[in-house]
Amino acid sequence: MAFESLTERLNKAFKNISGQGKLTEKNMDDMLREVRLALLEADVNYKIVKDFLVKVKDKAVGQEVYTSLNPSQMVVKIVHDELVALLGEKEATLNFKESGMTVVMMVGLQGTGKTTSVGKITSLLKRKYNKHPMLIAADVIRPAAIEQLQTLGKEVGAEVFSLGTETDAVETVRQGLAHAKETGADIVLIDTAGRLHIDEALMEELAKIKEIAKPDDILLTVDAMTGQDIINVAQAFHEKLDVTGLVVTKLDGDSRGGGVLSVRSITQVPVKFIGLGEKMEDLDVFYPDRMADRILGMGDIMTLVEQA
Amino acid sequence: NKTSDTMGKKLNKMAFGFNGVTEDFLEELMIVLLESDVGIQTAEKICDQLKTTVDQYRYVTFKDVMAFLMEIMQNIYLESTDAPIVMNENGPTVILMVGVNGSGKTTTCAKLTKLYQSQGKKVGVVAADTFRAGAIEQLARWADKLGVPCIKGRENGDPSSVLVDGCRYAKEHNLDILLCDTAGRLQNKVNLMNELAKMRKVIGREIEGAPHHVWLVLDSTTGQNGLSQAKIFQEVTDVTGIILTKMDGTAKGGIVLAIKDVLHIPVYYLGLGEREDDLKPFDLDLYLYSISEGIRDVG
Ligand SMILES: Nc1nc2c(ncn2[C@@H]2O[C@H](COP(=O)(O)OP(=O)(O)OP(=O)(O)O)[C@@H](O)[C@H]2O)c(=O)[nH]1
Ligand SMILES: Nc1nc2c(ncn2[C@@H]2O[C@H](COP(=O)(O)OP(=O)(O)OP(=O)(O)O)[C@@H](O)[C@H]2O)c(=O)[nH]1
Ligand SMILES: [Mg+2]
Ligand SMILES: [Mg+2]
């Protein structure tokens, strides 16, 4: 599906009202309707879109249009800047402990990319931070989840602690942490099983793991392809666990990724990493401006506006 | 059915102070549809049709409007007829499972194995995801648990050659059904999509008419990208049906309505959990009813 770029749409919406030098409440509404559609097509949650548009309108109404920008470009710029602001800071890192062992816990819905991300982050910690990570295989539900983590651990060169599928996740974490201390690991990553946010028993399991592991970071993985429901998911995970960061996965796809905006709005925690593929090196930091472009379905148009 | 709670409540709220199909009403309806990931194009189509329908009457109750709405959605789905799942009479029926990463392909292979076993069929599975860490092991575990053969290849080996082995095994052992698990791939990865096209071709050389079915496994939490998934997978592998997974969550899977509307791909099964029994045939009325549930009570 080719998406019409927002600028084209805004130009269309503005055709009838061009010639006016100012963004007025009246001519704004037509344009905001287009912005709304663009955001919804990008999977930004409806509620988030609504609040967002109120903000954009406040910013825009009454603004003089720069001579080199037509009103639709002006709106695009405001929308874009506002999106960047909402998407948050760039290059947020892990909450490393000053001294002692840092603990990171990975949580999220099934199949979003937790285990793969644990492997990728481990690889990064070794390559860039010279750390000695240890991994705990606390997914005893999904068949061969432990083997998956073991394979990745081997690939990136980190020990994987597991007690098999007979021991429950909480006990595995308890013993894993003790083992990590003994072996002198300076950072521990806990891979947990995927679960639905409405699964009370499994959500409670996460709370228990949190209690004994006292993680410095609880990272929620968010699949870039998710739609409107992500708002419910993020809310439930955040309420239960107070997540501290996000990992947005599968951004190597062609999804617009508007769900990221929804999750950011709900949790207010930074996106710490993005996943750009299945391989262990396919991890990057987050660039809010690129993400904003992507959500709006824009490439070069923005650079034109920036130059103006 | 919890999948419909929010939508039901929403529409429920709309029933109070119902004042005909006004602009406000349509706007609300639009939100409800968008929130279930139906997408703008299909949501607008539904709203337009509702307006046209209602305009033919002088007076409509809320109940009437809801009945129209259900009918419209039903018609959109039924506009193109769904081919029934036909099995190969002259040998093994080969089913290829495709989809993006983590959508539920491997688990669905297990669920389908269980289903066909319960129908007295001889089933085998092929672990043609040679790429993802632990993928072969994952399917092998399921096969063990369900007591069916799992044809495996080397890790990082050529998935097509595993499929050839699988097809030959199926013929030699007179299997009724051969379920082929493939690696997850994002639809914009040209090389990976070509690999899938090759797999398709290779299977066809081993067993006539194979693959007899290509099922796209789609995660119900997927947003508008689902349309792009369906479109490109269909182009490359002639997808014959969709299996909508993770419907035990709160996502409504509205994107399949858009997919049916635009690409006419039917939905055959719903995934409702992580266990082998958590599969149900897709039932349009139930699906739409779950959307409309809560509204009917108001009437
Ligand atoms: N293309 C792409 N695939 C990814 C990315 N991250 C993870 N994956 C793939 O997504 C699928 C699921 O990843 P996992 O790491 O197993 O996900 P999970 O959250 O651990 O899954 P469960 O443990 O079953 O809940 C696998 O096929 C991964 O290779 C990414 O950034 N890009
Ligand atoms: N709640 C729920 N979870 C499911 C369902 N189907 C699959 N899952 C879970 O989703 C995760 C991914 O499932 P897989 O079967 O491994 O997905 P896949 O498509 O084979 O993944 P890749 O091979 O990595 O692309 C696992 O944790 C499954 O248990 C479902 O219907 N409901
Ligand atoms: Mg995992
Ligand atoms: Mg798989």
Tell me the pLDDT band of A297, cut-offs 50, 70 and 90. Answer: confident
What is the rounded average pLDDT of the residues A147-170?
98
**For A223, nearest residue in chain B (alpha carbons):** B222
Q: Does A254 reach chain B within 8 Å, measured CB to CB?
A: yes
Helices A230-241, A259-267: axis angle to 10 degrees equals 30
- Considering only residues A299 and A192, tell me which one the structure prediction assigns the higher pLDDT: A192
Q: Given the DSSP bridges, would you call strands A102-107 and A187-192 parallel, antiparallel or unpaired?
A: parallel
- Residues 6 or more apart whose CB falls under 8 angstroms from that of A72 comprise A7, A10, A11, A13, A14, A31
Tokens, residue A231: 């708002």
- B234 SS3 class: helix
Pick from A273, A224, A223, A226: nearest CA to A245 = A273
Query: Among B242, B105, B265, B118, which Cα is nearest to B179's?
Result: B105
For residue B128, give the 3-state DSSP assignment: strand
Whether residue A283 has pLDDT greater than 50: yes
How far apart CA A20 and CA A15 sit, in angstroms, is 11
Whole-number average pLDDT of chain A? 89
Determine what percent of chain B is predicted with pLDDT higher than 90: 74
CB within 8 Å of chain B, chain A residues 87-126? 109-113, 119
Ligand 4 center–CA B142 separation, angstroms: 12
Comparing alpha-carbon positions, the chain B residue that sits nearest to A230 is B221
CA dihedral A91, A288, A218, A222 (to 10 degrees): -140
B180-223, pLDDT tens digit by residue?
999 999 999 999 999 999 999 999 999 999 999 999 999 999 99
Strands (E), A101-163: 102-107, 133-138, 159-161
Chain B contact present for A250, CB below 8 A: yes
In tens, the pLDDT along A202-241 reads: 999 999 999 999 999 999 999 999 999 999 999 999 999 9
Flag the least confident range among A23-37, A221-235, B32-46. Answer: A23-37
- Among chain A residues, the shortest Cα distance to B134 is held by A148
Q: What percent of chain A has pLDDT over 70?
A: 87
| Closest Cβ–Cβ partner in B37, B101, B274 for A228 | B37
The continuous run of DSSP H or E covering A201 comes out as: helix A200-213
Mean pLDDT of A75-81: 87
Written in H, E and C, the secondary structure of A31-76 is HHHHHHHHHHHCCCCHHHHHHHHHHHHHHHCCCECCCCCCHHHHHH
Structure tokens at A95: 């909450």
| Percent above pLDDT 90 for chain A | 72
What is the CB < 6 Å shell around ligand 2?
Answer: A 110-111, 142, 194, 196; B 99, 101-107, 129, 132, 135, 183-184, 217, 245-246, 248, 271-274, 278
What was the pLDDT predicted at B297? Answer: 38
Number of the ligand 2 atom closest to the C-alpha atom of B138: 16
Rounded to a whole number of angstroms, the distance from the CA of B151 to the nearest CA of chain A is: 17
How many angstroms away from the CA of B260 is the closest CA of chain A? 15
Tell me the pLDDT tens digit for each residue of A115-139: 999 999 999 999 999 999 999 999 9
Give the ligand 1 atom nearest the CA of A112: 19
Q: Is the pLDDT at B290 greater than 70, yes or no?
A: no
Q: Which atom of ligand 2 is nearest to the CA of B271?
A: 31
Q: How far does residue B102's CA lie from ligand 3's centre (Å)?
A: 10
Longest dimension (CA), chain A: 73
Q: Residue range A1-11: average pLDDT?
A: 59
- Sheet of A271-275: strand order equals A159-161, A133-138, A187-192, A102-107, A217-223, A245-249, A271-275, A283-284
**Which chain B residue lies closest to A111 (C-alpha atoms)?**
B102
Q: Number of A:B CB contacts under 8 A?
A: 143
ipTM (interface predicted TM): 0.94
Whether chain A has a CB inside 8 Å of the CB on B31: the answer is: yes
Model confidence at A66: pLDDT above 80: no
**Which secondary-structure segment (H or E) carries B39?**
none
Strands A271-275 and A283-284: antiparallel
Residue A11 is which amino acid? Answer: N
B229 touches B222 (CB < 8 A): yes
